[in-house]
Amino acid sequence: MIYVKESPQHGRGVFAEAPIVTGALLMTFTGPLLTRANLDPHDYHLQIGDDLYLGPSGAADDYVNHSCAPNAGFVSGFTLSALRPIKAHEEITWDYSCAIDEEDFGGFPCACGVPSCRKIVQSFRHLPREVRERLRPWTLPYLRERYR
């Protein structure tokens, strides 16, 4: 259903092999459980709680790029679902602010290129309230619990 290749946006990305319908389950994120002290900040990681991260899995979930107008999100658990119909060979993206919530995360410039781009990828807590409310249904479970 998905494949990894060079992305026009950043490094490698994940793409749809064939058209995908809204609600389809795309992939589940996995990887070694790490605390911040023992993760490599330059290596792939996903924040899943307070001082809790999934390190690189070596599978496609390591390579899904960010978008400020994503076509996928964490509707349930650590599984990425299609938020709208995805065309064949379209890049699959999710909004990284749906996982990151470190107080001291400085953010990084966004190159997603959509008209509604926020220009910087930030911690969930530092987003404007209306953005948090829009993104909340696609956040990881710990954030849904924190910002109920």
For binding to Zn ion (CB under 5 A), which residues are involved?
68, 110, 112, 117
C-beta separation of 9 from 91 below 8 A: yes
Is residue 77 within 8 A of residue 46, CB to CB? The reply is no
How near is the Cβ of 93 to Zn ion at its closest, in Å? 9
Kindly tell me which of 20 and 110 has the beta carbon lying closer to Zn ion. 110
Q: Which is nearer to Zn ion, 110 or 140 (CB)?
A: 110
CA distance 80 to 99: 12
CB of 1 to Zn ion, least distance (A): 25
Structure tokens at 144: 């849904």
Least distance between Zn ion and beta carbon 5 (Å): 21
By C-beta, is 117 or 131 nearer to Zn ion?
117
Counting every residue written for the chain, the total comes to: 148
